[in-house]
Amino acid sequence: QVQLVESGGGMVQAGGSLRLSCAASGSTRSINLIGWYRQAPGKQRELVARMNSDGTTHYADSVKGRFTMSRDNAKNTAYLQMNSLKPEDTAVYYCNAVTMRMYWGQGTQVTVSS
């Protein structure tokens, strides 16, 4: 079992920055893939960024060059640094971890005003 807790969401003006955190607990050594997804009202949940166990990262085209995913293995925490935020980045952001199963956090709201 893996538990995920996101934090760091909030309201920011366009062009601003936020850093999201995802603290993992439980069977963290079993995590093969960790990622960030988001879901805007009326839209499907979409991948934002993901990181393999070897540190390789993949970003959605819409966030490339603006968002950076990182992790601190000692703290069992993944981060999503979001810069140059746009109103279209407004969504609930979810942390996701994959072992033999898939786990989700509860989500954190990010609101970007124009």
CA angle 81, 27, 80 (to 5 degrees): 5
Cα–Cα distance measured from residue 65 to residue 13, given in angstroms and rounded to the nearest whole number: 19
Bridge-based pairing of strands 57-59 and 77-82 is unpaired
What does the pLDDT read at residue 111? 98
Cβ pair 4, 103 in contact under 8 A: yes
Pick the closest to residue 94 from 23, 30, 29, 6 (CA basis): 6
Report helix, strand or coil for 75. Answer: helix
Q: What is the per-residue pLDDT for 13? A: 98
Q: What is the pLDDT of residue 23?
A: 98
The pair phi, psi for residue 14, each rounded to 5°, is: -55, 135
pLDDT tens digits in sequence order for the chain, 114 residues long: 999 999 999 999 999 999 999 999 999 899 999 999 999 999 999 999 999 989 999 999 999 999 999 999 999 999 999 999 999 999 999 999 999 999 999 999 999 999
pLDDT at 43: 97
